[in-house]
Amino acid sequence: MTGFASICCGVQLCRPCLRRRRTYAFGICYSILSVLSIAIIWLLMLGGVPSSLRTPPATIHEHRADMLRRIRQTDPDDNDASPHASEQQQRGELSNLDLYALGCEAAKVYPAVVTSKALKWHQTPRAQLLPEGPIFDGRRFANCVAVSNSAALSGSRLGRFIDSHELVLRFNHAPTIGFEQDVGSRTDVRIVNDLVLLDRKYYVVPNFNFMNDALYRDLTALIGWVPREEDLWNGPIIEHYFERRRLLPHESFYMFETQGLWDIWEFLQKLVPMPIVQYTPSSGALGMFLLLHHCDVVHGVEFIPSVRFHYSYGCHYFEIYQPLPCTFFSPHPKTAEMSLWYRLNRASDEVVFGHGVTQLRGFNVTQCKGSRGMRSSPPRVDYTLLPPLGYPLSTPTS
Ligand SMILES: *[C@@H]1O[C@H](CO)[C@@H](O)[C@H](O)[C@H]1NC(C)=O
């Protein structure tokens, strides 16, 4: 059944290619190749069916216990060669903070964007090409949602819930057309990584068509990021950025400063006592931090895997080109991120582990100046748009 659903997804992804006659043959080829490669990889590497598919949890609470166990294992960094003793001391120093104090610590981390005031470009012709900022013109939104690209979104029927938010954030080349019922149809903000910005061939996907695809147009904000500081100041990615700024000067197209990424990384390391992988946090973490600074309520969709995790496989809801699971197998410090979302979450187990929706309170810097932390009264959140949960919460006790 899962295999069948994925093949459908693959065909969905190929639809745009199929529409263009020139790439018709490619479309067919990719579909056949991906189905074959999945079959081979399943047989060779996973020994048939992944174990998580064989014994799905019977209840939401069983799934919750499984997820918390995985999250607490953290991403151990075998290459623990940090030369800084101070860094080692800081590991896990925030692990005992309560929800209110932790929110205030997190609020100190802000992923800033490069604006025309950037010192590097100051008084050069390029400064005029940079957006002035501040991002969102300093606006604050009542409720926002960050939609991950997780394969566990397939079959979620969260589309109406997602679309009901004031601001919808998506990542990289995540599509909505053909997936509206599960992921919604609106996109206000899109965060794209260096692969999209480079517009290079990516695995077997031809390319992102970044300069022309409608996915990246007409947004409230489009924001790129690069893992390495030097790529922000020199090289093909930043050239692409300025090229697009020149062509579309009215667009709100920003680049995150690389420092913000490492500030988030350091914060995550202070949260967990084990050394975390020395790699950038995910685009998802960047997006969540941005929203937390600009929204009163932030929902994250599939930032902590829902029970659908056991019935989905592969990376993304929209493609079958990456048949291997990547929720817990990614280069990013994903479990540390998940543990942060879980500790800041205010939604019920049913909403988090059944629907895959975490609810976080946006940062309130004014409240953080007081000694009690972020203790605002619960916001009115409408969960009636969530579909009925087709999964038992717990085993009946009688
Ligand atoms: C922050 O909290 C203060 C005090 O509770 C409140 O008056 C203010 O409206 C809040 N600000 C935001 C942006 O939520």
Beta carbons within 8 Å of 119's beta carbon, 6+ residues apart: none
| pLDDT at residue 16, as a whole number | 42
pLDDT in tens, 46-60: 444 454 555 789 999
Q: Is the pLDDT of residue 337 over 60?
A: yes
Mean pLDDT of the chain: 84
Smallest CA-to-CA distance from 274 within 96, 94, 91, 95 is with 91
Q: Name the band, by pLDDT with cuts 50, 70 and 90, for residue 156.
A: very high
| pLDDT at residue 182, as a whole number | 98
Cα–ligand 1 centroid distance for 370 (angstroms): 12
How many angstroms separate the CA atoms of 206 and 199, rounded?
10
What is the dihedral angle through the alpha carbons of 347, 96, 109, 231, rounded to the nearest 10 degrees?
Answer: -100
12 close to ligand 1 (CB < 6 Angstrom)? no
Phi, psi at 171, each rounded to 5° = -125, 145
Atom of ligand 1 nearest to the CA of 376: 5
Give, in order, the Cα–Cα distances in Å from 148 to each of 174, 211, 279, 282, 288.
9, 23, 19, 11, 10
How many angstroms separate the CA atoms of 37 and 102, rounded?
44
Closest Cα to atom 10, ligand 1: which residue? 364
Q: For residue 187, give both structure tokens.
A: 């996109």
Cα–ligand 1 centroid distance for 59 (angstroms): 38
| pLDDT at residue 203, as a whole number | 61
- pLDDT (average), residues 85-102: 81
What one-character DSSP code corresponds to residue 305? Answer: -
Q: For residue 81, give both structure tokens.
A: 């060669």
Q: For residue 41, give both structure tokens.
A: 């990889």
Using DSSP's 3-state secondary structure scheme, residue 352 falls into helix
Cα–ligand 1 centroid distance for 360 (angstroms): 15
Cα–ligand 1 centroid distance for 104 (angstroms): 13
Q: Is the pLDDT of residue 43 over 80?
A: no
Atom of ligand 1 nearest to the CA of 367: 2
Atom of ligand 1 nearest to the CA of 364: 1
How many angstroms separate the CA atoms of 160 and 340, rounded?
27
Q: Is the pLDDT of residue 93 over 50?
A: yes
365 close to ligand 1 (CB < 6 Angstrom)? no
Question: Is 2-77+90-369 a domain of CATH 3.40.50.300?
Answer: no
- pLDDT (average), residues 242-268: 95
How many angstroms separate the CA atoms of 352 and 278, rounded?
28
| pLDDT at residue 55, as a whole number | 77
Atom of ligand 1 nearest to the CA of 362: 14
Residue with tokens 């100046």: 369
The pTM of the full predicted model, rounded to 2 decimals, is 0.84
Closest Cα to atom 13, ligand 1: which residue? 364
| pLDDT at residue 67, as a whole number | 94
State how far Cα 156 lies from the chain centre: 17
Q: pLDDT higher for 153 or 48?
A: 153
Domain ranges in the chain are 2-77+90-369
CB crowding 296-322: b at 16 or more within 10 Å, else e: bbbbbbbbbbbbbbbbbbbbbbbbbbb
pLDDT in tens, 343-368: 999 999 999 999 999 999 999 988 89
Identify which of 366, 368, 380 to mutate to test ligand 1's pocket (most ligand atoms within 8 A of the CB). 366
Q: With beta carbons less than 8 A apart as the criterion, state whether 298 and 134 touch.
A: no
Q: For residue 84, give both structure tokens.
A: 């800084």
| pLDDT at residue 373, as a whole number | 76
pLDDT in tens, 219-231: 999 999 999 999 9
Cα–ligand 1 centroid distance for 359 (angstroms): 18
Q: Name the band, by pLDDT with cuts 50, 70 and 90, for residue 2.
A: very low
Beta carbons within 8 Å of 356's beta carbon, 6+ residues apart: 150, 152, 153, 156, 158, 301, 302, 304, 305, 306, 308
Closest Cα to atom 4, ligand 1: which residue? 367
Cα–ligand 1 centroid distance for 146 (angstroms): 22
| pLDDT at residue 311, as a whole number | 85
51 close to ligand 1 (CB < 6 Angstrom)? no
88 close to ligand 1 (CB < 6 Angstrom)? no
Q: With beta carbons less than 8 A apart as the criterion, state whether 346 and 357 touch.
A: no
Cα–ligand 1 centroid distance for 282 (angstroms): 29
Cα–ligand 1 centroid distance for 138 (angstroms): 16
pLDDT in tens, 61-91: 999 999 999 998 755 555 555 555 556 668 8
| pLDDT at residue 56, as a whole number | 83
- Give the lowest-confidence range in 274-283, 333-342, 370-379: 370-379
| pLDDT at residue 8, as a whole number | 40
Q: Name the band, by pLDDT with cuts 50, 70 and 90, for residue 5.
A: very low
Cα–ligand 1 centroid distance for 16 (angstroms): 46
364 close to ligand 1 (CB < 6 Angstrom)? yes
Q: For residue 359, give both structure tokens.
A: 């609810």
Identify which of 143, 361, 367 to mutate to test ligand 1's pocket (most ligand atoms within 8 A of the CB). 367
DSSP string, 134-189: -GGGG--EEEEEEE--BGGGTT---HHHHHTSSEEEEETT---TT-HHHH-S--SE
116 close to ligand 1 (CB < 6 Angstrom)? no
What one-character DSSP code corresponds to residue 57? Answer: -
Q: pLDDT higher for 330 or 23?
A: 330
Atom of ligand 1 nearest to the CA of 375: 5
Q: For residue 45, give both structure tokens.
A: 């590497």
